[in-house]
Amino acid sequence: MTHSINLTPEQPALDAADLNPLIEIYLRDCDSRLAPITVAGYKFCLSYLIRWWEEVGPTYEYKITGLAMQQFARWLEVQSGQASEYLSYNSREMILTRVRTLFRWASHPSHNYIGRDFSEFVPAATGEPPIRVTPEVERLAKLFEAAAQSTNPARNRAILAVLLGTGIRRGELVRLNVEDVQIHANGAGRLMIRKTKTKTPRIAIFGARTGRYLAVHLDSIQKTSGPLFCGFPGRRLSELGVYRCVKDTIAAAGLDDLLQGPHDLRRAFVTAWMRGRRNLSDAQTLALQVGHADLRQTLQYSLQSIEDVEATYISPLEMMP
């Protein structure tokens, strides 16, 4: 049998004129199952898909194809993120992952909004994930020196102290209230994390140095209740506000090559904890501290290096008499 070359093969296409209503249904479903913090992240990711489709939908006659999804991935490369610079590799991959999940959810037999799974047409983000390393403690100290020169030094140093001293998430930090802070006589204490990603409230422990920065901040605001961290004009600081605060401090400290934002401070906390404690039981207590339901996720946050391997190296051969 002889086959001919088909230069115009038919491509599967999704009639996506109702894409926005579908996204709304998906987010409502997520809202019924997931924590508000998680759903807010999903909304942020899918807002890029909504904006792109509003711009180019008519050009594609409101039909999504594999080629259209490739164009979407390229469009993301020139979109601004939370601090106006272009979206990072990780941000773009997070957005594309959420679009894949949307299509898989919509095509699942229990939903059946789409007759075919179009997630396979969503490409991976271009480029390479950044190589992440944790700065030495001495260099992290420069963050506090830079924050001391900011327009709100007490607040900004307390934000850094909580992120570096507890490992909690940025979304958890902005939802803290003054009454959630308990400082003991020795300066150490506890934070009551009421609104978490997993919907389960938990307590995060902090040390005496973190407690000192928090105490200075509390003295400066003279409040007994309400938001712990506020922006202008006295409203609760947003997640974007915390991101910009940390990002500006990183730039002022000259650490742009090592740190990208608040999440890297969370990684620094996890890495320091694991370097000081090598047992699996210590990783389990760390998971309680940072709010991970899965211990494997906690271990992925640890950025230990080959030097850590060298420091803890052992083999049967070396143990021989």
pLDDT per residue over 70-122, tens digit each?
A: 999 999 999 987 655 788 888 899 999 999 999 999 999 999 899 999 999 99
* Predicted pLDDT of residue 36: 81
> Which residues of the chain does CATH 1.10.443.10 include?
137-304
* Predicted pLDDT of residue 315: 43
Cβ contacts of 18 within 8 Å, gap of 6 or more: none
* Predicted pLDDT of residue 320: 42
Q: How are beta strands 202-206 and 189-193 bridged, if at all?
A: antiparallel
> Which residues of the chain does CATH 1.10.150 include?
14-121
Q: What is the strand order of the sheet 181-183 is part of?
A: 181-183, 189-193, 202-206
Tens-digit pLDDT profile for residues 194-219: 877 767 788 888 888 999 999 999 99
Say if CB 193 and CB 241 are below 8 A apart. Answer: no
Nearest Cα neighbor of 90 from 128, 49, 119, 123 is 128
Cis peptide upstream of residue 233 (ω within 30 degrees of 0): yes
* Predicted pLDDT of residue 240: 87
Say if CB 98 and CB 45 are below 8 A apart. Answer: yes
3-class state of residue 192 by DSSP: strand
In this structure, which topology does domain 14-121 adopt according to CATH? Answer: DNA polymerase; domain 1 (1.10.150)
First-to-last alpha carbon distance for the chain, in angstroms, is 72
Cβ contacts of 158 within 8 Å, gap of 6 or more: 213, 214, 216, 217, 229
pTM equals: 0.64
Q: Where would I find the H helices in the chain?
A: 19-33, 36-56, 66-76, 89-107, 137-148, 153-166, 170-174, 208-221, 239-252, 262-276, 280-290, 295-301, 306-312, 316-319
Q: Residue ranges of the chain with pLDDT lower than 70?
A: 82-84, 130-134, 198, 276-284, 293-321
* Predicted pLDDT of residue 301: 62
The correct CATH number of 137-304 out of 2.40.110.10, 1.20.1250.20, 1.10.443.10, 3.40.605.10 is: 1.10.443.10
3-class state of residue 190 by DSSP: strand
What is the spatial distance between Cα 311 and Cα 239, in angstroms, rounded to a whole number? 38
